[in-house]
Amino acid sequence: MKKLVLAFCCSLLAASASACPNLGGRYTLRGEDGFASYTVRQNGCDRVEIDRKNNYLGKISAEPTHVFIPDGKAHGKGIPISRWVGDRLQIGQESAHIYYSLDSSGNLHMSDGRTYPQCKGPCDDIAKREQ
């Protein structure tokens, strides 16, 4: 019986360790002279795609879709190394990276993970979830 309970507990730990948050949705980041719209599509923990459209002073421009395969490995030219770190998606190498995560309201946080005096902590950009 102890072996069965131990095996069950280990499987729960393994399942929770491999879980990742669902970042999928539509978000808006407002600035002084415009806004940026983000669309995030996610296929489980294996693939995240992010589209961004900028509206600066009424001029709309779209960036190419960014594709991330968060397994910590290189996947060719143009696809940065990415991985899940806890409940955050880390894009780029340790020395120059950005994190994507969600807060309890479902808003998308983008941060380099560093602490800044002017923010009294991390300076996150926060894109509000669209309903």
Residue recorded with tokens 């894009």:
91
Residue recorded with tokens 């807060």:
103
What is the length of the chain? 131
Is the model more confident about 95 or about 11?
A: 95
**Both tokens assigned to 121:** 């902590």
Closest CA to 26 of 106, 124, 111: 106
Instruction: Give 30-64 pLDDT, tens digit per residue.
Output: 999 999 999 999 999 999 999 999 999 999 999 99
Strands 108-111 and 98-102: antiparallel
pLDDT of residue 8: 41
**Distances in Å between the alpha carbon of 100 and those of 7, 37, 58?**
33, 15, 27
Go through the domains of the chain in sequence order and give each one's CATH number: 22-129 (2.40.128)
pLDDT of residue 7: 42
Mean pLDDT of 25-33: 95
